[in-house]
Amino acid sequence: MHRLLLLASLIATTLPAAAEPINARLYKSTYGYMPGCHACHGDGGGSPLNAYGRAFDAAGAGAGAFAAIAETDSDGDGFANGAEAKAKANPGDGDSIPGDAGDWLALNNLIPAEVQQAFPEVRLYKPIDALLTQAEIERAAAWGVTLAARDENTIYVPVQDRRPIGTALIVAGGEGEERFYLLLLTDRALALTGVQPVSGPLPPAGDAAYARYVGATPEAFPATEDAAAAALAAAIQRGLALIHVRLKSS
């Protein structure tokens, strides 16, 4: 029987930990501090990229990409990206400038608005890295799900009374200009409780198309024969698999 890992990790501390997805760690190695997700994402980890995030992606999304875009001004506020980052201002937000950086590094700004709206009574979250090991990739493959480095993300765990009450993940689907984003919500047992569209050109889908996946797990996932819904189903199953391989042990 599966054993939830997140319960012990949450009870072990009363304070939520900052997430460290791989690109955030590259940012830290370049500028000396962990950035908020809003540096590259419009609304937190997993959401669509802002201008700075797109520039980073276009420059190769690797350790050298920050240097490559350091002299440009992605957010159009009159300060170069590198100068803003060194001053702990947000290079992806035109309202955050050296000397008036705002609160983009505050912990609550690590939690996407869609996640907070899904749990309106929650005031405490535990962001958890979803960085993949080879063993986790192999576990997902056994369910027929292909996971790769591009799927690494941040899982948000809402906490009430020192107990996790579920999880949330913003997952991308589709390709290129057809890329879309979904919010996946699960219960404490990591069964899917809801799917909400976030942004992008979503595949044809009504409420029923999302509702059919409620209760799903990556091992027991509804089959689809509708080609138009295939991208939607693939994104949901991939996101669920990421949650399960990261938060459950065999």
Domain limits for position 155: 3-15+112-249
Measured distance CA(16)–CA(94) in Å, rounded: 28
What is the pLDDT tens value at each position of the chain, 250 positions in all? 444 455 444 434 433 333 345 677 789 889 998 888 889 888 766 677 899 999 998 999 888 999 999 999 999 999 999 999 999 999 999 999 999 999 998 866 778 888 888 999 998 888 887 888 999 999 999 999 999 888 888 899 999 998 999 999 988 888 777 778 899 999 999 999 999 988 777 766 666 778 889 999 998 898 877 766 888 899 999 999 999 999 986 5
Helices (H), the chain: 6-11, 22-31, 51-58, 65-68, 81-86, 113-118, 134-142, 207-211, 230-247
- For residue 22, the number of C-alpha atoms closer than 13 Å in the C-beta half-sphere is 13
* Whether residue 234 sits in one domain with residue 169: yes
* Whether residue 26 sits in one domain with residue 101: yes
* Whether residue 179 sits in one domain with residue 225: yes
* Whether residue 191 sits in one domain with residue 91: no
* Whether residue 103 sits in one domain with residue 117: no
* Whether residue 131 sits in one domain with residue 69: no
* Whether residue 26 sits in one domain with residue 140: no
What's the full length of the chain, in residues? 250
* Whether residue 135 sits in one domain with residue 104: no
* Whether residue 214 sits in one domain with residue 158: yes
Residue 208 is predicted with a pLDDT of 73
Residue 206 is predicted with a pLDDT of 61
Please count the structural domains in the chain. Answer: 2
Give the DSSP letter of residue 73: -
* Whether residue 166 sits in one domain with residue 64: no
Are 26 and 63 in contact, with CB atoms under 8 Å apart? yes
Q: Which of 69, 84, 109 is the last residue of a domain?
A: 109
**Sign of the torsion formed by the C-alpha atoms of 13, 14, 19 and 20:** negative
